[in-house]
Amino acid sequence: MDNSKKRTKKSTKPVFRYEKGKIRAAEHEPVTEFPLSLIVNGRELATLIASPHDLRYLVAGFLRLQGFVQSVEDFQMLSVCDDFGVANVIIKGELPEKLKPALTSGCGTGITFNLHQKMDFTNKRVTGSAVKVAPDDLYSLMEQLARLAGEYRKSGGIHSAAVCEGRTILLHSEDIGRHNTLDRIAGEALLKGIDLSGKVLLTSGRVSTEMVTKAAMIGISVIASRTSPTDLAVHLAEEAGITLIGYLRSSGFNVYSHPESLSLAAESKLAAGVTAVILAGGGSTRMRSNKALLPYSGELFIERIYRQLAAIFSDVILVTNTPELYSFLPCRTVSDIFPGMGSLAGIHAGLSNSETHYIFAVACDMPYLNETLIRRLVVGINGQDVVIPESDGGLEPLHAVYGKGSLPAMEDALSKGNRKIVDCFDRLKTTVISRDEVAAIDPEFLSFRNINTPEEYFRFREEMREENHEDGGKGETGGKP
């Protein structure tokens, strides 16, 4: 049997759960969607979209209710191959020469033409900060959709869908078939000349592969449902660059693909035009374990740093050559373009992959981030290539802002084997935030303190325990974690 028909492998990426302003990795298995090709007497008759259990019963019942068989004696062969998703059946008699299709309008698959097999998602992918959606906007939109779904309250059994931008519903439809609601929206947008690229799709029903495929074809960037997606829908959304959200309720929701599109901070509080970049590529030789994964106060260092930066910047990128170690983080990961060239290569990779002109770069082992100081660096951009703070130890290149105008100098240095970041500065427009100005914000220069050894780590934990004790257990204060 042709191996190309073997069932598509599921995505192994984790699910993320958003609740009370925080997003964390969680465990949830989407419902399984299993496409089964039905071949009868050598003819491919249909593709049944089903749950993967008791498929022989499904096939037999389908053929019985279609009128092709009436008793068990009518079957000469009934074979189901789970690995390849194919049912081969031989029945007595011949199939009609011409089969007239019935157009279904309920919650099933309806009529499709192998859409996902023909789709090329290369040019459909939406990544990073190109599209951002705020949880509060999603809650508001779903409430609006519920109010619009008047037909459901009258008779029940009606599905609804809407395409939205911000907190505004642009198009809305209702139908007894959940797939039909999306077809109606796509048709209305076509006839009215409305571009749906980058928009949010809300739906009251389960999200299947067909829904994701149709959404990708019209440029939808986010799909949110009150119920669940299927496992293959999650896989397809990951390929298509679509953020897929399920179980959207007042208590929270699950994010199954591309969680980086979720904006955790209010728009008014975000630093516009700058992407945060976390460097997690060090060897941690002195620590003798991965510094980014050190635990503290119920989370890991890298989680704490991500959370702090996500409250300031709309997009966060993690630079690492081992992305599998950080799959629990809801952000993009990129690898070094110049592997083995240290922090300069990490800054270069983050800047090259940023969709904004500027980045704020920080190391993964700097747990004392100070929001006021970070925002001061961003304010100082003013057309410069680099905005860098100064401490008692000199310039602090791993807590600085870099613009894309820095890339040629960085690439020249890296191609010559030069790893020193500061050696690039003489070719760049650079603003230095003086030691005195930094001290006015962060008197002890804690922002630049990193944790390199086990002794430093245990000392850090002890200091935090003492500080929390003095604060009466209230936790984070004064810009510290």
Distance (Å, whole) CA 144 – CA 161: 11
Look at residues 51, 16, 87, 45 and name the one whose alpha carbon lies nearest to residue 208: 51
Reduced 3-state DSSP string for 308-321: HHHCCCCCEEEECC
The residue from 107, 164, 331, 364 that is catalytic is 107
Look at residues 369, 429, 439 and name the one whose alpha carbon lies nearest to residue 399: 369
- Residue 214 tokens read as 């149709």
Angle between helices 209-217 and 231-240 (to 10 degrees): 20
Distance (Å, whole) CA 324 – CA 330: 13
- Residue 274 tokens read as 């700058």
Angle between helices 178-192 and 209-217 (to 10 degrees): 10
Distance (Å, whole) CA 299 – CA 369: 16
- Residue 170 tokens read as 């642009």
Cβ(166)–Cβ(136) below 8 Å: no
Q: Kindly give, in sequence order, each residue whose CB lies less than 8 Å from that of residue 10, ignoring residues fewer than 6 positions away.
A: 231, 232, 234, 235
Q: Buried b / exposed e across 376-389, counting CB within 10 Å, b at 16+?
A: bbbebbeebbbbbb
Active site residue 81: no
- Kind plus residue range of the DSSP H or E element containing 50: strand 43-50
Distance (Å, whole) CA 406 – CA 339: 19
Active-site amino acid positions: 107
